[in-house]
Amino acid sequence: MARRLSIELEKELGQPFVVENKAGGRGATQLADVAKSKPDGYTIASVTSTHIGAMNQTLKQYNVDSFDWVARLATEPYLVAVPADSDIQTMQDLVAKAKEAPGTLVMAGFVRGSGGHFAWELMAKSAGLDSKSVRWVPYDSVGDAVTATLGNHANATIAYVDLVKSHVQSGALRVIGIMSKERVPQLPDVPTLAEQGFDADTNWQQMRGIIGPKGMPDAVKQTLADAVSAALKAPEMTEYFEESSLLPAFLGPKDFTAYATREDETTRNMMQQLGLTQ
């Protein structure tokens, strides 16, 4: 998404953009580079809901006030996928297996306390399962979790449409439920959780946005946000969003900051409920 967005931002701002992957420490390397950069608008970073979870768990040297929240771009519903040869055909099947043998069914995902982990806990709660009914196994990324499920190292995974769509089309994975108000166009045959009788909160979705170093001038943040807003209207970005099942959800600096603050509070409450606080 960052690479695709940078192409449109170059057009809007007339400046070249260099996208760098900063792997390491589950976001620690990336956030450290952002935090130490000059707050002049020339260094920005992609951010997701999982970053907020990490700030409350593994990256406690940072919090939502450590950065400037420039613009929210999109939200993305979570889904549950299983290997195509699995005998789990529906969410009801998954729940039944979890209740029959608690703790034996393996759910692959990102770190405990991540957005995907919380999504599963909300799903589990709506199904009458406790946190020990299904064993959550964390991987270094959601992509790795999908790969593990493809290899039958896990019974199911929490992921997003863009990470599983090609595997569904190839016949390697089957999606059994999606955590959204309506079915998504890319997977029209996949029922929502609500259609299967599970009242999970569909407001909890993965968020994608842009942040910068703390102390950026308001005018700079607004210039970047305006450029992002314009970029999201480009036909190429619209097509990309549709292909990836991303839902346009633009917010400018003020509203995005308020959104991040609310999500941080929700995250802390959920972590406390799950015993993840230290």
What does the pLDDT read at residue 278?
Answer: 56
Query: What CATH topology corresponds to 79-196?
Result: D-Maltodextrin-Binding Protein; domain 2 (3.40.190)
| 5 vs 227: CA distance, rounded Å | 10
What does the pLDDT read at residue 277?
Answer: 67
Q: Do domains 2-75+206-273 and 79-196 have the same CATH topology?
A: yes
206-213 vs 173-178, strand pairing mode: unpaired
- Using pLDDT thresholds of 50, 70 and 90, give the confidence band for residue 155: very high
Q: What confidence tens digit (pLDDT) does each residue in 27-82 have?
A: 889 999 999 999 999 999 999 988 898 898 888 899 999 999 999 999 989 999 99
Question: For the chain, what are the domain ranges?
Answer: 2-75+206-273, 79-196
Q: Does the pLDDT value for residue 4 go beyond 70?
A: yes
What does the pLDDT read at residue 54?
Answer: 85
Task: Domain 2-75+206-273: state its class.
Answer: alpha beta
Q: What confidence tens digit (pLDDT) does each residue in 234-258 have?
A: 999 999 998 887 888 999 999 999 9
- Using pLDDT thresholds of 50, 70 and 90, give the confidence band for residue 104: very high
- Using pLDDT thresholds of 50, 70 and 90, give the confidence band for residue 115: confident
What does the pLDDT read at residue 242?
Answer: 86
What does the pLDDT read at residue 130?
Answer: 86
Q: What confidence tens digit (pLDDT) does each residue in 164-222 have?
A: 999 999 999 999 999 999 998 889 999 999 999 999 888 888 899 999 999 999 999 99
